[in-house]
Amino acid sequence: MTLFATTPALQWDVFCRVIDNFGDIGVCWRLATQLAQRGHQVRLWVDDASALAWMAPQGCDGVELRAWGAPPPAPHEAPCDVAIEAFGCDIATEFIASQLIITVADGKKPLWINLEYLSAEAYVERCHGLPSPIMSGPGAGCTRWFFYPGFTPSTGGLLREPDYATHQQTFDRNAWRTAHGVGTHSTAVSLFCYEPPGLTALLHTLPPSAQLLVTPGRASAAVQAVLAGQQDTPSQIYYLPPCPQTAFDHMLWACDLNLVRGEDSLVRALWAGQALVWHIYPQDDNAHHAKLMAFLDWLQAPASLRQFHAVWNGLPGTIDMPALCPEILADWTACIAAARARLWQQNDLVSQLIGFVAEKR
């Protein structure tokens, strides 16, 4: 179900500072394109758009890229209706002064939204949709609203295209595998990670029939570092080139197990409905441990999946990594399918975001 599909077209300004080239820009690009596909205009302000050269080589009608620090929109350009501050990045003071403290033509002020990080922790439901009045600086008198993605109906939901199910249903899994040299009866495992503590254990416990599809960048470098100096490769390993976001979805659909990282690929793996393991972004104070446990609790993860996550992410007191036998993978897949079914009953993030804007403006 899609809410507020007939709301007037607005001018959205989405701000993104890239910490992880694939994650921050990946989420913001999906957000921008899904807004544009619903008839809105989007200016995406980003400090490093280089990953879009392969992530979205065709661009998207209705989405305009602007460099971080570029001048605010000129008087003859459409004024900002909604400003999205992604992941706590700070909008330039010049943009705030010229766009966010004014009243636009329809008599309404622009809405300023902080799009937060994804978490299953309890505070998300408490903080979602709360206002934060700006008391000083160029934005004094404005209100910043907090919008939290999440896994429950009391949060902002997850990004999902309206036609996602149709595309997945028409996908030919065996044809994809054949085209990429993956056996139709083998255990296909995709690997998109940082440098997981459990990588060595994984490479030495994969079943002989497994084929490991390794994404470029840090995942490939991590695998090569583990295997350096070893004469025997523990499994069939394929190093993949960079690919557009749609092709990444195809890989997730075609694999039996998806090892993903960060936020964007976790969401895509959930929608894919196959067994998954999450390499959560590590934090110096180990705050990610509680975040991971909250996700596994929401997921209703079986003991073997919790154990694998603990070893994979290097949680203290972990034990041996469970073997990826067919029975375990089937158990994990059933868990993800049930979680996906719960998520499918909720409205997607963009539908909720459009409704939130309609309510607050």
How many CA atoms, within 13 angstroms, populate the side-chain half-sphere of residue 329? 17
- Letter for the amino acid at 141? G
Report, as residue numbers or ranges, the catalytic residues: 24, 263
Helix axes 326-344, 287-299, angle to 10 degrees: 90
Which of 209, 216, 213, 208 lies closest to 250 in space, CA to CA? 213
Rounded to 10 degrees, the C-alpha dihedral 13/18/19/23 comes to 80
Q: In the structure encoding, which two tokens stand for residue 27, read together?
A: 């989420």
Distance CA 352, CA 356 (A): 6
Q: Is the dihedral of CA 120, 44, 68, 53 positive or negative?
A: positive
Q: In angstroms, rounded to a whole number, what is the distance separating the alpha carbons of residues 202 and 261?
A: 16
Among residues 152, 189, 170, the alpha carbon closest in space to that of 333 is found at 189
The position carrying tokens 């895509």 is 268
Secondary structure class of 198 (helix, strand, coil): coil
What value does the CA radius of gyration of the chain take, rounded to a whole number of Å? 21
Closest-CA residue to 273 (of 215, 222, 335) = 335
Burial of 225 (0-12, 13-18, 19+ CB in 10 A): exposed
